[in-house]
Amino acid sequence: MKLINREVDYAARALVFMARANKPTVPVAQMQETVGAAGPFLRKIMQKLHRAGVLQAVKGKGGGFALARAPENIRLSDLISALQGPLRLNDCVVRRKLCRDHEACALRRRMEGIEARLLAEIATVTVKDLI
């Protein structure tokens, strides 16, 4: 029902802010107002993105976060997988209860194709597109 949650939304804004900032690192305190998220929450998001390799982090005074690669190489799908985990269009595909003939099921095949195309489209959107 909602493909992009608020964490991804905040992340997108923060990354755009960082891309525009043109500084080696940006501390969370400097972006939270523009992004519109509370500091600790935004920090948690940034930490997830750091762990996922999307961001670099510098601790200590004068530190902050920085994009780990160029904006055109950070895809919306990267954010989604770091912050929401994999998409599952249909529960039934995942935990196949009541689902005989899993391989032969036309719905499943159909949904798989739809899911793959959706992911491919989402992977074409990059942070650069949002600047």
Partner DNA sequence: ATTGAATGATACTTTTTAGGTATCATTCAA
Partner DNA sequence: TTGAATGATACCTAAAAAGTATCATTCAAT
Residues in contact with a second copy by the rule CB under 8 A: 1-6, 9, 12-13, 34-36, 84-85, 87-92, 97-98, 105-107, 110-111, 114, 117-118, 121-122, 125, 129-130
Q: Does 123 bind ligand FES (CB under 6 A)?
A: no
- How far apart are alpha carbons 122 and 124 in whole angstroms? 5
Residue 93 vs 119, nearer CB to ligand FES? 93
Helices 76-83 and 39-51 pack at an angle, to 10 degrees, of 110
Following CA atoms 117, 121, 122, 123 in sequence, which dihedral angle do they give, to the nearest 10 degrees? 100
Candidates 34-42, 68-76, 102-110, 114-122; binding stretch for ligand FES (CB under 6 A): 102-110
